Every structure is written in structure tokens, then in C-alpha cells.
Amino acid sequence: MLKVGIVGLPNVGKSTLFKTLTKKQVPCENFPFCTIEPNVGIVEVPDERLERLAERSKSEKTIPAAIEFVDIAGIVKGASKGEGLGNKFLSNIRETDMILHVVRAFEDPDVHHVEGGVDPKRDAETIETELALADIELVQKRLDGVRGRMKSGKTKELEKEESALAKLFAALEQGKMANTVALDEDEEKAVKGLLLLTRKPILYVVNVAESDIPSTGSGNIRFPELVEGRMAIPISVKIESEIVEMQPDEQKTFLAELGLPMSGLDRVIAKCYEMLGLITYFTSGEKETRAWTIPVGTKAPQAAGVIHTDFEKNFIRAEVIDWKDFVELGEAGAREAGKLRVEGKEYVMRDGDTCHFRVNA
């Protein structure tokens, strides 16, 4: 399951965003082996295709894809050195796939700002500095250890690791993020286990006033200096917390009045998928219709393995129907109309494929 860590200064709307997101929470029994703590929420990935497939199959159960959001306490200057229990908080998000960085861009005299005034670019850089400082400490420690081992004898693996760590250290020391460093495949593999915070994709959620929400939802027009070089989505967390309490029909009407194609929360979730290069395929039948998440470029046996590891080992073929054809015709109808494709081990999955995998018993 995709894991996203939420970071930001205190009083930027980070915890409100988390509470709003978790009102879309998925029943945990659908996702075995997940231990839910107070600061972790498993949230449904919005996908209208799922309900339409379930209606066609008359499924007893519908299980969406999901994202696990991990909320940590607000980070302050000095977090990397332990200020505000910073080290403990930062360690909680090392194992996430990406980071959601909430930045405040709204004025409100009743909500105190820790830096004394609203400045999104400065605040973003404060958090980035703390993440980088936490990473540089980790990289330096690992680099010293690798160079110590190399004195006893060099290997190709150690040389690759040393090369990668040296590049990362040089960038971090210059105040750059680790995700700006180009590494080759072997170097990347050598340092993957470090789980560097600034090596992860970062999506900036700019918490704006309602009056600052662009109708296209595509960019934050008032703060171009923050958006430059960063992937950012402007949303009003206050408005989102109101939208999530509405009935579905009311939500659609309200969003239409704002000129928005979908809610800010849904845009955030969709952007997380896009940044991580993920797509969705479906399985659908009377028992259940379910969405499955895979990386772009995944072949059919590996996609089957997401359902059960034995399916990958014992893969024979995939029977694939585009979700639109499935909704229009059903499985039997799609087969009769020649819309069902039989694909083998080299088939690269497409977003929206509805599959029936054939495997050896």
C-alpha cells in the first residue's frame, strides 16, 4: 500500500488536512496486516470506474485502492537536532513512499504563525532545511563506515556505494535536496536502504484562503515564487473540511459553484499517484470488485502477484477487458463481442484494465 508522510510547520493546517482526509477512511478490515495508530489513516483513492464496474457485476463488495497517510507533529527549526522531538517525528516518515508538505498561505490573526508572519517560500525552505540536515547526518555516518570498510579491501559494490554517498553528501552540504542528485542504477540500489527524506518525491499542498483557490485547480497564482521548481497544489483546507461533511450530490453542486472539477483532497490523491508513476487495474465479479495499484510498466504476471504471490509463479495468461467495455457489455458480452484480449507473460498492463488471471492450481 502507498504510504505518504505529512510534514509542515505548526499551525499551517497540516493536522486539519489529515483529519479531513481520514473522514474518507476505508474500513481497516479490507486491508489485513495494517496496524492503525492515532496518527495513521488509510484513505480511499477516488475512482468512479470502480462503482460502475461493481454495478455491472452486481458485486457484493467493493474495495477501492488505498493510501496510508502518516501525520507527524509540526516540525520546527532545529528538528533535525531534536528540537520539538524532531528526530522521533522525522523517523516516523522515513519509510513512506513520498512526502506531502503543507505550507500556509492564508492570513488569519486568530491562528498564530510560529515565524511571526505568512511567508510560504520561507516556511517551505525551513522544512526542507530540516529534512536535508537529518539526511546529511545519515549520509555522513554511512559514508564514514563505507570508507572504513574500503581500507580492508575494495569491491565493486563498496565503490558504487561510496560514489553515491559522496554525490549525495556534496549536494546536501550545499543545501540542495537529495532528489536533485543523478545516480546510476547501481548507485541508486546501493543507497536505497537509507530511506533519505529528501530523496522522496515531495508534493507541496499550499493551504490558501477560499478567495485564492484558482478555478482550474492547476496552480497557486498568488505565490509563483513557492511553486517554482516544486510540484504544488493550492487548496483551502478549511473549505475541504466542510466539503467532506456534505452528501455526494451536495459536494458536486458546491464544487461546480467554485468552478472546480473535483475536490482538493481528490486532486491531492490523484497527484500522489501521478508523481509515483502508479496506475490502477481492476478485478470484478459477483463476490467483489476491487482496484489494485501497480507501477507503470508492470507486466501481467507481476500484476497478478499483487493479488497473491502464487499467482505470479503459476501465471498462465491474463484475460483483459478495458473497463469501459466491461461496464457496457459485462464479461460475457465483451467476450462475445471480441473485446476480451488474451495476454501472455510479456503483456504490459494499462490503466483501467479489468482482468481475470488464469493460473496453475
SS3 for the chain, per residue?
Answer: CEEEEEECCCCCCHHHHHHHHHHHECCHHHCCCCCCCCCEEEEECCCHHHHHHHHHHCCCEEECCEEEEEECCCCCCCHHHCHHHHHHHHHHCCCCCEEEEEEECCCCCCCCCCCCCCCHHHHHHHHHHHHHHHHHHHHHHHHHHHHHHHCCCCCHHHHHHHHHHHHHHHHHHCCCCHHHCCCCHHHHHHHHHHCCHHHCCEEEEEECCHHHCCCCCCCCCCCHHHHCCCEEEEECHHHHHHHCCCCHHHHHHHHHHHCCCCCHHHHHHHHHHHHCCEEEEEEECCCEEEEEEEECCCEHHHHHHHHCHHHHHCEEEEEEEEHHHHHHHHHHHHHHCCCCEEECCCCECCCCEEEEEEECC
Q: To which residue does cell 500484476 refer?
A: 303
Q: What was the pLDDT predicted at 89?
A: 66
Q: Which residues, 6+ apart, have CB-to-CB distance to 261 below 8 Å? A: 217, 255
Those residues of the chain that have pLDDT short of 70 are 24-38, 73-89, 109-116, 213-228
Q: What was the pLDDT predicted at 219?
A: 45
Annotated binding site for ATP: 11-16
Q: What was the pLDDT predicted at 42?
A: 87
Q: What was the pLDDT predicted at 113?
A: 66
Q: What was the pLDDT predicted at 216?
A: 44
Q: What was the pLDDT predicted at 311?
A: 96
Domains and CATH numbers, the chain: 297-359 (3.10.20.30)
Q: What is the value of pTM for the model shown?
A: 0.83
Annotated binding site: 11-16
Please report, as a single letter, which amino acid is at residue 28. Answer: C
Cα gap 314→317, rounded to integer Å: 10
In degrees and rounded to multiples of 5, residue 276 shows phi and psi of -95, 0
Q: What was the pLDDT predicted at 176?
A: 87
Cα gap 281→299, rounded to integer Å: 12
pLDDT digits (tens, 9 = 90+) for 150-186: 988 889 999 999 999 999 999 999 888 999 999 999 9
